[in-house]
Every structure is written in structure tokens, then in C-alpha cells.
Chain A
Amino acid sequence: MSLPKRIIKETERLMADPVPGISAVPHEDNLRYFDVTIEGPSQSPYEKGIFQLELFLPDDYPMTPPKIRFLTKIYHPNIDRLGRICLDVLKSNWSPALQIRTILLSIQALLGAPNPDDPLANDVAQDWKKDEKGAIETARQWTQQYAK
């Protein structure tokens, strides 16, 4: 099936007018598959980290949300060991008016505002609630170690 106009338009705009701190480049052989990098937000434990993600647009996109996963190891209560992300707009709150760029912005915002009350990685969330300072320190160390 040929690529819908919407995906072409979104890709063009991502290239011509990228969001600061975020890049998304489609694979040449599969224009629905993107290599994504997100810079950790400043004043968060992920600051200065550069995180790799993969993004895939399913056939019925935008009726269903893109599939996104962290490839870089990250210590975050809403991201599990496999890089899966717990974010409402990626699941129940997806709307076909949302786009790749808006979703990536939401993920960047999630790095700046971890939410241990709605955890995906249970152990991380528990650490986070028990000892927030320690957890933030661990997140910082992981960022230095893995997110280069």
C-alpha cells in the first residue's frame, strides 16, 4: 500500500522544522519506521542524556497510535526494562489528531515529570517513592552511563 499523504506530510515537517531537542528520521527501506533521539530535559536527572528510541506507524495510523519504545537503558518509573512507555496518550487517550512530533514532546515531558503513582516499572516506582533523592541520583548515574 502506498504511503498515506499524512505520513508524508508529517515526515516532511519533521525534517524541515524539527522540534528542538528531538529528531526523528525514517528508514529508507521502511518509511513507517523511525529512528528517534530525545535529549533529556534540562533540570531533570536525564539532563545532557541523549536517548535513542524506535517508532513505528502501524497500518491504520492515525486511527491507532504509533508504537514507541526506548532503546537506551533508562531509570524511570514509567518506562520498563524493555523500554516500553506508560503514557496515556500512547494508549487510551490517543487521538488521531495527535502526531509524531506531539507524541515525542509528551515523552520528553514525561522525562521531566516522572509519575511513580502510575508505574510501569514497579521496582523503580517503589524505589522512587521510598527514596526520591536516591532514585533521582540513580537516574542521573544511568543517564551518564548509558545515554551518550
Chain B
Amino acid sequence: MKFGHVFKETLKNEGFPPAWVESAISYSQLKKCINRLTTELAAVGLTPTTLGALLKHVEDYNAATAVEDEPRPFEYILSEQPGPGSDALAHGRAARKPFHPKLLFHVSEATGELLSATLDEDTRKKLQMLAVESGISDRRVFEEPDADRKSLACHETTHVPRPGNGAPRQRPGCRTVEIPLTSDSEFFAKLAAELSGLEALQARERRDMHTQIEALGKQVAKLTDPDHRSNRKILAVWRQIFQAYVESGIFFGTTEQDHTAHDADKATVRFHEFANKIASTGLVDKLKKPENVRALNTFMNINREILQGLRFGEINRMAMMKILKKFDKQTALGVKASFPAKIEYPEFSEHLAKAVCAEVNTQILAHVPQIDDYSCPMCMDLKWRPVKLRCGHTFCIRCLIVMQNEKQHKCPLCREPTVVDANSDNLDLALAEFLKKWFPDEVKAKQKYNERMAGIDEYGEVYDGKCMVM
């Protein structure tokens, strides 16, 4: 199936909002532009085969001479932007200036022959004709300042037969001829405008999402507020849902082996895994109250929107690459490699997904503390009761008692001898209050465990926490 068709179908069937579809890259119109350009080129005798041969020749010529300030005998320039000393990167950042692509070749002033060309007769004649014609009707001799070498060097090494920035250089006894074309300007202007449109759309989306996320964050904070007794049970449920969410690593891998951003396909799979997990473990049912269910639905919708944005960005990026490839295939002008470097290449929605995910983390997930952030580095259980050593590191009281009994005096994290002099003054009361408030069940369980272990210390293995009559 042709990409143009696939693109259209995807835009139609993926349920994107109409405003998005309107901003998508207009693949078919750009295709028509290319067709017109091909006609224009053919009219002056430059078929893709001829152009391909010419540019190939230039590439070979450049490779062979390797002299940096030799002008290319034949070149296609995407946009002629002045500015000595500015390199390709600086140009790329300089916003989206209108494109004035030029197809240039240099001919000998005397003979009108293409410089240093070893072309077949046919092509040579065509070009000579062009040179002569343009010499009469549209003669353009360039008086050029020294082109900056930096950009030139950069292009020499990449062997792209096109010096993107530097204006064509004049050399004695030679004349620069421009082949007048209009469809290519039209093509690049359209593409650049659409990319700007996509960026604007992305910025709007981001603001919308920001508002949504902020609102949901406040809602979640209210629903899980531990100061309301009625929220007690729900807090644990939300905690488990968010823990499952983080562990699913939907948009970014969080393990040693997978720590990159995911593409839309992978993220979709992970998202479904997460949705199934919270449904199958009964977490969704435990939410009960309608306002909790509504909040979860909003949360899921925000994630769906991020996914959709990711998908939309991917297909637009693909559309751009495909249309440039087509451009090259039809004209042999070789822009696919150079165009993305010429413009501020939009990151599309990957960027958006990253930013929005960060907001989800800080605005929503952060309202419900996770136990892993409050676990003792030794027993890996909740740090209850928390004891803060002189060096600033906090452990649970049980582990420190064991350390003191074993005469291990150094802090496990920094090796400062701070364990030895810890006493009841080191209890972290503020943290204790916090833990009691946010992890009531876990605190109870750990308290029981600590007491049982202390009993074992005192009475030996047989102690099981119950009063026994011997």
C-alpha cells in the first residue's frame, strides 16, 4: 500500500481531534508540488537521470580534488542565507526563514561549458543551451564575498553535493547560472509552514494538558488526604495504582536494560498491560466512590492523550521523511539528508510526551508517597521508627539496635562512626508523624515486627509475641 494512502487512513481512523488532522502534513499536496517541479525540470531538459548523473559527477569531482575552496561546478542550494562565520547549526536555529532554493551551475565565461565536467555530449549540450539562454534572458553573474570556509569544510566532509549556506563563489573566468524554478520554493515554503503549524499545535496541546494535569493533581490530593479518616482505605488503593503505573514504565523504560523512551507502539502495549493489571487485581473495583472512579478515568484519559500525541508525531515525522524521499527520487536533487539539518527540526511529540510525563509525576503521583522512598536501606522495609544519625542518614530503629549489639559503629551509608552514639534523641519525630499519617497499615505491621524481633533478642527463637504460661 502506498504511504500517502496509509497516512490518510491513519489520520482518519486513529480518532485524532479534527484540529490535529488539519495541522497534519499535507502529503498529497506536497506530492503534487513535486510533480510540477518534475515538469519544470523536464522542460529545461533536466530529467532525474540527467540530474542524478550531474550530481554524481560533482560528488566524484569533489572527492577527487579535495580542494576546499573549489566551487562546485553544479549545485543545488536550499536556502541562500548570508552570514559569514555562521555554521550550519546556527542557521538551523535561526527560526524558519523562507526558503529560496536555487539550482546553480558554473560555466566557463569563454566557452559556456560546464566547468571540469566530463559529461556525455547530450548533457553537456543541454547545459550549454541553458547557459546561453539564461545568459541572454536572465543573466546573473554573482559577485560574491568570500564564502565562509567553515560551512564549506563541513559539507566537503559529508560529501553532500550541495553547500547549504555559503553563497556560491565566483572564480575568475566563470559565470554562475541559475536555473529558474518555482515549484521547489513552493514545496519548501509549504513544508516549513506546516512544520511551524505542528509546533504551534504542540504548544497548545501542552498548555491544555498542563491545565488538566494540574486539576487532576488537586483532585487526587483531596481524595487521598490522610487527614480525612474516610480516605484511609482509598489512600492504599491509589498508592497501589500509582505504583503499578510507575512499574509499567509506559513511556520510558525504568530498568537497567530498558531505559529509553518508548515509541507509540511499545507505549500502547505497556499502557494496556497497566490497565489490565489494575483491573485484574481488583484495584479499580476498590475505588468504589464515584469521585474516585472519575479521577481514575481522567488519569487514564490523560495517558491516552499522551499516547495519541506520540502516535501523531510519529506519523507526521514519517510523512516528512517520505515526502523528502519522494522529492529526491523524482528530481535527484538530494535534499533528504540536508533539509532536516536546515530547519529547526521539530521533535514532534516525543518532546511533548516527555514534558507531560514529567508533569504527571510531579503533579499527580507525588501526592501519594510511595513506600520505596521511605524504606530503610538495611531491612528494606518501612523506616519505622525512624532514627536520624548525626551524619544525617536515617534508618529504622530495629536495624540500628542490631548494629549496636553487633558493635558495628559506622553508618552503613557514609561509614562515619555515628551509629555508636545514637540514642533516643536521634528519633526523627517529624518523619515518624508523616509515616504514621501516610502509611498507617505499614507502620502497624513494622511495629509488630520490631517488637517480635526485640522479644526474640531477649527470650530466644521460641518467642512469638504472645504471652505464654510455661
Q: Verify A63–B403 contact, CB threshold 8 A.
A: yes
Cα–Cα, bound, A98→B403 (Å)? 15
Given the complex, which residues of A lie within 8 Å of B243, measured CB to CB? none
* Interface positions of B (Cβ within 8 A of A): 255-257, 377-381, 399, 402-403, 406, 408, 410, 412-413, 415, 461
A16 to nearest B CB, angstroms?
7
Would you list the 5 A-B pairs with minimal beta carbon distance, nearest first? A97-B412, A17-B255, A97-B377, A95-B412, A6-B380
Q: Which applies to chain A's interface (DSSP): helix, strand, loop or mixed? A: loop
Contacts of A4 in B (CB 8 A): 379
Given A95-B413, A95-B415, A96-B403, A62–B378 Cβ distance below 8 Å? yes
Given contact pairs A6-B381, A62-B378, enumerate 10 new A-B contacts (beta carbons under 8 Å).
A4-B379, A5-B380, A19-B256, A63-B402, A95-B410, A95-B412, A96-B377, A96-B399, A96-B408, A97-B377
Q: Mark A5-44, 1 if CB is under 8 A from B, else 0.
A: 1100110000011111000000000000000000000000
Residue of A nearest to B402 (CB): A63
Interface size range of chain A in the complex: 10 to 19
Asked if A6 meets B256 with Cβ closer than 8 Å, knowing A63-B403, A96-B403, the reply is no
Q: How far is the CA of A18 from the CA of B255 in the complex (A)?
A: 8
Closest CB of chain B to A12's CB: distance in Å?
Answer: 10
Closest CB of chain A to B403's CB: distance in Å? 7
Interface of chain B: mostly helix, strand, loop or mixed: loop
* A62 proximity list for chain B (CB < 8 A): 378
Q: Which A residues are CB-close (under 8 A) to B461?
A: 1
Which B residues lie within 8 Å of A10 (CB)?
380
Chain A residues closer than 8 Å to B406, beta-carbon distance: 60, 63
Kindly state the separation between the CA atoms of A95 and B380 in the bound complex, as whole angstroms: 14
A18–B257 contact, CB under 8 A?
A: yes
A5–B381 touching, CB < 8 Å: yes
Residues in B with CB closer than 8 Å to A60 are 406
Name which residue of chain B comes closest to A17, CB basis.
Answer: B255
- Do residues A9 and B412 form an inter-chain contact, with CB atoms below 8 A? no
Rounded to whole angstroms, the CA-CA distance of A17 and B255 in the bound complex is 6
